[in-house]
Structure 1
Amino acid sequence: MALHPLIPGAEPFFYPGNRTGVLLVHGFTGTPFEMREMGQNLAARGLTVLGIRLAGHASTPADMRSVRWGDWLANVEDGLNYLKNASDEVFLAGLSLGAILSLVAAARWDGLYPIRGVISLSCVVNLPSDWRVSFIRPLSLLQPYQQQAPGDFRNADAAANHICYPRYPTRSLAELRDLMAVMRAELERVRVPVFLAQSRLDAIAGPRSLPYLAEHLKNAPQTHLWLERSGHVINREPEREQLFDAAYTFIRAHSALTG
C-alpha cells in the first residue's frame, strides 16, 4: 500500500510532563491538529500528552481506502503502549471517532493498561437514518468517495484553519458504522470513570447521543458537560476553555497521582 506524506501541521505530537498521561485521539477524516490546542492546555498544567494519528488520516483520502476499524483501534493501543512507558496512569480523550475508540479501548483493555478514565467529546452513537447505510459496502463500488459535509463551527478561526479531507472513501463510512455498533455493544463493559461532553448545537452527533451514552454506560461513574454555543469540534469552539478546565478537573478527581 503506497502511503503519502503527511499534511504539514497535521503531525502527531508529544508533550512530556508528569506521570499522568493523556492520550488524545482525533475524529473521522480529521488530524491530530484538531486536538493540539487541548493537548497544549493539558501539558501546560503538567500532564504528559500524546496526540496520535489514526491510520489513513492526515495525508490523502486514498490512504483510507484499505483501512479497517481494527487498524484505528490498534493505533490507540500503540498510543497506550507508548504512554505506559512514559507515565504511570493514562486518561483517554477522544473527539467523535476518537471518543468511540476511547470507549472501546476502555471496555476491552482496562486492567491491561493503566486506564484511569475516558474523556468523550462529541461522541456519535449512530449514523443518520438513511436506507443507504445498510448498503454502504456495495454502494461504495458505484460511488467510491463521499464529499465532506459542511462543518458546524461557531469559531470562524477554527473553521478557517481546520485540517480535514474534503472527501473520503465511502468504504470508510462502513468501517465507522461497524465500529459504532461495536461500541454500543460494549458500553456496559466500561467501568472506569467517563466524562461526557457535547454541545446542544452539535449537528453531527445530534441531541440524543450524550443521553444514550449516559443510559448505557451502566457501570461507569459519569460526569456530564453540556455546552451551549459550540459546534461538533467542541475543543476548538468558543467554549473550549470551559471544556479544558472541566476535563482537567475530571482528571484531577480520578487520578491516583494528582487527585
Structure 2
Amino acid sequence: MLLISDAQPFFFPRGRIACLLVHGFTGTPKEMRGLGEFLAGLDYTVLGIRLAGHATHIRDLMRCRWEDWLASVEDGLALLHSAYEQVFVIGLSMGGILALLAAANYPVHGAVALSTPYALPNDWRLKFIRWLKYLQPFVPKGNPDWHNPALAKEHREYPAYPTAGIEQLLALLSRMRQELPLIRVPVLLMHSRQDRAVSPENAIRIFEALETPEKKLVWVENSGHVLTCDTDYPIVFHEIAAFLKSFSQPGSVT
C-alpha cells in the first residue's frame, strides 16, 4: 500500500489535551495538517488520522464500508484515550459526520464539524445507487470549490467519487441523523456561506437537530468547501482554538 505523496497521517505530541483530526471523503490527512500544526503550536497534542481506503488508490475506497471509516476514528480515539484524559475530535466534511458520531458514542470532551453535510443533494440517481455502482463505478467531480487558487494547488484528493463510496456515505449520514439528538458534549459547527459542495442549509439543519445546550454555528464568507485550507483558514483556526480553550478543564494544558 503506497500513500499519496505528502498525504501521510501525522502525530504531534504536546500537552495533556489531545485533538483527533479527521479528513473528508476522498481527501487525505494533508487537508488537516495546517490546523494540526497550529494547534500543536498552542500546546495541544494532535493526531491526524488516515481514514480507511483514503490516500492510496481510489479502488481501495471502493471496497470500504462506512463502518471501516468509523473504525479508523475509533482506533485514533483509543490511542489518544490511552494517554490523555481530555480528547476533542475535529472533522472536515465527512470527517465532521464522523466527529459528530464520535461525540454521540464515545467519551470525548467536544466536537468540531466543518463543512459537514446533513444530507446529500436531491438526485434521482441516489435511489438506484445500489445498482448504479455496477454500471458506473465512478462519478466525476465538478469544478473545484475554492476561493484561493494558489491554496487549491496544494490540495490532495482522489480525482473522482467511487459510486460504492457514495452508497456508504448515504448510510453514514443516516446514522448521523439518528444520533445527533444523543450528543451531550459541546459542539462547534463552521460553514462557508459560499460552499457549493455542501450547501449552507446543511449546517442549519445539523444545528437544529443538536440537543446539546452547548452548541455554536459560525459562518465564514470567503472560502469554499475545504475550510481548513482556503482563504478563511485563519478565522477557522482561531475559532477552533477558542472553542477548545472554553471547554477544556483548567490545568490540563502543560
Q: TM-score range by the shorter chain?
A: over 0.9
Q: Name the SS of the counterpart of 1:237 in structure 2.
A: coil
CA distance in 1, matches of 2:5, 2:250: 36
- Shift of residue 180, structure 1, vs aligned partner: 0.6
CA distance in 1, matches of 2:191, 2:12: 26
Q: Name the SS of the counterpart of 1:154 in structure 2.
A: coil
CA distance in 2, matches of 1:77, 1:257: 26
**1:15-52 Cα shifts (integer Å, max 9, x gaps):** 00111000000000000000000000000000000000
CA distance in 1, matches of 2:183, 2:142: 31
| Partner residue, 1:14 | 11
CA distance in 1, matches of 2:128, 2:251: 48
Retained in 2: the 8 A contact 1:26–1:94? yes
Out of 186, 201, 208, the residue aligned to residue 193 of structure 1 is 186
Q: Name the SS of the counterpart of 1:235 in structure 2.
A: coil
CA spacing shift, 1:254–1:22, aligned 2, 3 Å:
same
CA distance in 2, matches of 1:175, 1:220: 30
- Shift of residue 134, structure 1, vs aligned partner: 1.4
| Partner residue, 2:240 | 247
CA distance in 1, matches of 2:139, 2:30: 22
- Shift of residue 258, structure 1, vs aligned partner: 5.1
Retained in 1: the 8 A contact 2:152–2:230? no
| Partner residue, 2:130 | 137
Pairing of 1:58-77 with structure 2 (within 5 A)? 58-77=55-74
- Shift of residue 256, structure 1, vs aligned partner: 1.2
| Partner residue, 1:39 | 36
Retained in 2: the 8 A contact 1:21–1:86? no
User: Given residue 86 of structure 1, which amino acid in structure 2 is its aligned partner?
Assistant: A
User: Given residue 191 of structure 2, which amino acid in structure 1 is its aligned partner?
Assistant: Q
CA distance in 2, matches of 1:197, 1:54: 21
Residue 226 in 1 paired to residue 219 in 2? Answer: yes
User: Given residue 21 of structure 2, which amino acid in structure 1 is its aligned partner?
Assistant: L
**1:27-78 Cα shifts (integer Å, max 9, x gaps):** 0000000000000000000000000000000011010111000000000000
- Shift of residue 209, structure 1, vs aligned partner: 1.0
| Partner residue, 1:53 | 50
CA distance in 2, matches of 1:145, 1:210: 27
Q: Name the SS of the counterpart of 1:161 in structure 2.
A: coil
Pairing of 1:149-188 with structure 2 (within 5 A)? 149-188=142-181
Q: How many residues in Structure 1 have an aligned counterpart in Structure 2?
A: 252
Q: Name the SS of the counterpart of 2:146 in structure 1.
A: coil
Retained in 2: the 8 A contact 1:147–1:167? yes
> TM-score under structure 1 normalisation?
0.95
Structure 1 segments unaligned to the other structure (5+ residues)? none
> TM-score under structure 2 normalisation?
0.96
User: Given residue 66 of structure 1, which amino acid in structure 2 is its aligned partner?
Assistant: R
Q: Name the SS of the counterpart of 1:209 in structure 2.
A: helix
Percent identity (aligned): 44
CA distance in 1, matches of 2:217, 2:33: 23
CA distance in 1, matches of 2:217, 2:160: 32
- Shift of residue 166, structure 1, vs aligned partner: 0.5
- Shift of residue 149, structure 1, vs aligned partner: 2.4
User: Given residue 86 of structure 2, which amino acid in structure 1 is its aligned partner?
Assistant: E
CA distance in 1, matches of 2:122, 2:238: 35
CA distance in 1, matches of 2:186, 2:251: 16
Retained in 2: the 8 A contact 1:20–1:257? no
- Shift of residue 147, structure 1, vs aligned partner: 1.6
Residue 100 in 1 paired to residue 93 in 2? Answer: no
Dislocated runs of 4+, deviation >6 Å: none
**1:108-146 Cα shifts (integer Å, max 9, x gaps):** 12xxx3x11001100111111011111112001111112
